[in-house]
């Protein structure tokens, strides 16, 4: 046994140690240097970071040659972690003292070596600077039952249930092998051929990755820090990674930074630099082309279930609003994009989302114009959409209806103030009027919204049974009751006839009540009679024309 402590076994603290069993040495004759044939039936390595879990090496064989202060081991073969290792290496001293002064050079071929759910087949080789070159295939398979108990010696899976098959082409820096190295780090290409974690699927994704294990306190391991270089990815690839369809097409340019702490908590920060996305399935008339996509997305999870730290990791994850093992907690500090000539921003987390819009042009059947909005979507037994939306430089249809049929909009309660701003024209059929600034409150649900409040009107035109009247003033009242149409109260003039009358119109579309009074110097009875006759004749004319049309079509 090779170790650092001379204390009794019962009082010996956790330490790094190597144990060798059944070692056989045979001199090799016939050469100019001293050489030995070495066979080790079993060797084990114990680390302070994994007490009670030894790394086993069996049936190790090789030829050791001593020459000029260097040790060369040729024809190395051994069974390691369920696989085979073959190679050759040389260990020699360099300038300085201590373990950092020992230089190890050589190469090894690993076949089916597995540890903690991971398996590796490939080649390791040192370069002139003491770095380790890695070229091979890595795979992972985990059942997610590592915390089921019953075998404390069995290592837990590193990332929970899932599968991974990837190719590595990287360079690693390892303390003790690489001169002046103080932390373990690696940099290179990870070509993910297939990855499944829960419902997530990734295929054919190549990443340029750098990783480093920071120094921990004392003998404890530090955090693992991982970064990827910026690259473009299609939404189809992202949909496969999420394990669910995304109703959109396009691409985003992104990079990611991740940190995994020893107790298993992991966090990922994804930065979006650019992108173009076209949403699908949106109601006709709404803008759906997003450009200049940028912002930050953060995710967190528990990626390891092992040791006593697991309980603390889970408790911390839950208290932070993150998911336990196998789930992912999502938070969006902010994602921005250009849309409809304006800008939108989305932020929030799984339980609450916020969306803002500035000068976004909408050409919907209900509203056509510029929209400013600040809306919040809150999860619960039912979704709740609340906030404010301002309309300006627009045309609004006063029909209050649900969303278009066939549009996949989830059922949600509404609590929205619609602010009518400058240059807004209110229309209903052939009638229209300019609205003065005001607010209408929308409640109900996305399937059946209702509106309450009043809008004041200025100039415009109302069509009463085919007779156009010029609007002088008036307003529109929304009752807030499901199915109720808007109620009009208007003062208008019959400009076309030249009659000096003020016509008062009130009611709902299809059921208008009319009263007439003279402007000045005229008898009300005569003027009212003239106008009513005109309205009746106009109505009769429309009735006759419609009847003639039906007769011709038959």
b/e per residue, 341-373, with b = 16+ CB within 10 A? ebebbbbbeeeebbbbbeebebebeebbbbbbb
264 burial type by CB count under 10 A (0-12 exposed, 13-18 middle, 19+ buried): buried
Q: What is the distance between the alpha carbons of residues 191 and 197, in angstroms, rounded to a whole number?
A: 17
The whole-number pLDDT of residue 12 equals 47
Residues 6+ apart with CB under 8 A from 146: 154, 155, 156, 157, 305, 306
Triad 423, 425, 428: Cα angle to 5°: 175
How far is it, in rounded angstroms, from Cα 505 to Cα 433? 14
* Nearest of 135, 101, 104, 137 to residue 119 by alpha carbon: 137
pLDDT of residue 532: 61
Q: Are strands 265-279 and 248-260 parallel, antiparallel or unpaired?
A: antiparallel
- Alpha-carbon span 437 to 401, nearest angstrom: 22
Is pTM beyond 0.75? Reply is no
pLDDT at 321: 44
CA distances from 521 to 517, 524, 527, 530 (A): 11, 9, 11, 16
> How confident is the model over 416-441, as a mean pLDDT?
90
Q: Which residue has the higher pLDDT, 222 or 142?
A: 222
Region class of 295: left (phi > 0), else alpha (psi between -120 and 50), else beta: left
* pLDDT at residue 1, as a whole number: 46
User: Over 80: is that where the pLDDT of 2 sits?
Assistant: no
| Distance from C-alpha of 310 to C-alpha of 245, rounded to nearest angstrom | 33
pLDDT in tens, 246-268: 899 999 999 999 998 887 788 89
For 19-23, what is the mean pLDDT? 78
How confident is the model at residue 278, as a pLDDT?
Answer: 95
- Say how many Å lie between the first and final Cα of the chain, rounded: 107
- Tell me which residue of 308, 309, 300 sits closest to 332, measured CA to CA: 300
Tally of residues, the chain: 554
CA distance linking residue 540 with residue 459, whole number of Å: 28
Nearest to 297 by CA among 256, 326, 259, 325: 256
Instruction: Check residue 130 and report its DSSP letter.
Output: S
* Integer Rg of the chain from CA: 38
- Interval 437-458 mean pLDDT: 90
Which of 249, 236, 173, 175 has the alpha carbon at shortest distance from 204?
A: 236
Stated as kind and residue range, the H or E segment containing 250 is strand 248-260
For residue 38, the number of C-alpha atoms closer than 13 Å in the C-beta half-sphere is 24
Averaged pLDDT, 529-548: 55
In whole angstroms, what is the distance from residue 128 CA to residue 106 CA? Answer: 10
Q: What is the mean pLDDT of residues 12-30?
A: 70
Cβ pair 461, 469 in contact under 8 A: yes
Give dist(CA 454, CA 477) in Å, integer: 5
Question: Among residues 393, 197, 402, which one has the least CA distance to residue 303?
Answer: 197
Q: How confident is the model at residue 306 (pLDDT cuts 50, 70, 90)?
A: very low
pLDDT in tens, 360-414: 999 988 889 999 999 999 988 899 999 999 999 999 886 644 444 445 567 899 9
What is d(CA 237, CA 179) in angstroms, rounded to the nearest whole number? Answer: 40
Nearest to 424, CA basis, from 389, 385, 374: 389
């Amino acid at each position: 046994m090779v170790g650092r402590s001379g204390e009794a076994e019962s009082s010996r603290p956790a330490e790094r140690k190597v144990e060798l069993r059944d070692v056989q040495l045979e001199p090799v004759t016939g050469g100019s240097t001293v050489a030995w044939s070495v066979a080790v039936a079993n060797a084990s390595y114990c680390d302070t970071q994994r007490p009670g879990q030894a790394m086993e090496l069996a049936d190790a064989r090789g030829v050791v040659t001593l020459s000029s202060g260097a040790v060369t081991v040729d024809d190395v073969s051994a069974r390691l972690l369920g696989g085979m290792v073959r190679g050759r290496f040389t260990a020699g001293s360099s300038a300085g003292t201590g373990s950092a002064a020992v230089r190890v050079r050589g190469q090894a071929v690993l076949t089916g070596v597995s540890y903690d759910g991971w398996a590796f087949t490939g080649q390791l080789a040192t370069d002139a600077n003491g770095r380790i070159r890695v070229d091979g295939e890595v795979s992972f398979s985990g059942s997610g039952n590592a915390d089921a108990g019953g075998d404390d010696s069995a290592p837990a899976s590193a990332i929970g249930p899932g599968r991974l098959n990837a190719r590595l082409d990287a360079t690693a820096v390892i303390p003790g092998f690489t001169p002046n190295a103080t932390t373990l780090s690696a940099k290179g290409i990870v070509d993910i051929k297939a990855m499944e974690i829960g419902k997530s699927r990734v295929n054919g994704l190549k990443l340029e990755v750098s990783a480093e294990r920071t120094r921990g306190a004392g003998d404890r391991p530090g955090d693992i820090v991982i970064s990827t270089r910026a690259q473009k990815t299609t939404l189809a690839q992202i949909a496969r990674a999420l394990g669910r369809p995304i109703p959109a097409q396009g691409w985003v340019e992104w990079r990611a930074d991740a940190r995994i702490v020893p107790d298993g908590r992991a966090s990922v920060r994804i930065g979006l630099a650019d992108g173009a996305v076209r949403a699908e399935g949106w109601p006709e008339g709404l803008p759906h082309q997003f450009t200049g996509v940028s912002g930050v997305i953060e995710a967190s999870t528990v990626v390891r279930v092992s040791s006593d730290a697991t309980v603390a990791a889970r408790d911390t994850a839950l208290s932070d609003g993150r998911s336990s093992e196998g789930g992912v907690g999502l938070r969006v500090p902010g994602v921005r994009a250009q849309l409809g000539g304006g800008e939108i921003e989305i932020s929030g987390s799984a339980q609450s989302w916020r969306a803002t819009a500035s000068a976004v042009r909408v050409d919907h059947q209900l509203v056509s114009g510029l929209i400013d909005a600040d809306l919040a979507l809150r999860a619960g037994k039912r979704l709740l959409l609340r906030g404010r939306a301002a309309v300006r430089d627009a045309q609004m249809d006063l029909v209050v209806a649900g969303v278009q049929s066939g549009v996949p909009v989830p059922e949600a309660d509404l609590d929205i103030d619609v602010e009518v701003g400058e240059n807004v024209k209110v229309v209903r059929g052939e009638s229209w009027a300019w609205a003065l600034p005001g607010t209408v409150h929308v409640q109900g649900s996305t399937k059946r919204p209702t509106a309450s409040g009043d809008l004041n009107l200025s100039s415009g035109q109302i069509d009463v049974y085919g007779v156009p009247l010029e609007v002088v003033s008036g307003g529109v009242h929304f009752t807030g009751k499901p199915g109720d149409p808007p109620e009009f109260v208007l003062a208008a003039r019959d400009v076309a006839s030249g009659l000096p009358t003020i016509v008062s119109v009130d009611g709902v579309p299809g059921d208008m009540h009319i009263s007439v009074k003279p402007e000045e110097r005229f008898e009300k009875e005569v003027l009212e009679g003239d106008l009513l006759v005109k309205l009746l004749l106009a109505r009769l004319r429309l009735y006759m024309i419609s009847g003639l049309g039906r007769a011709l079509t038959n």
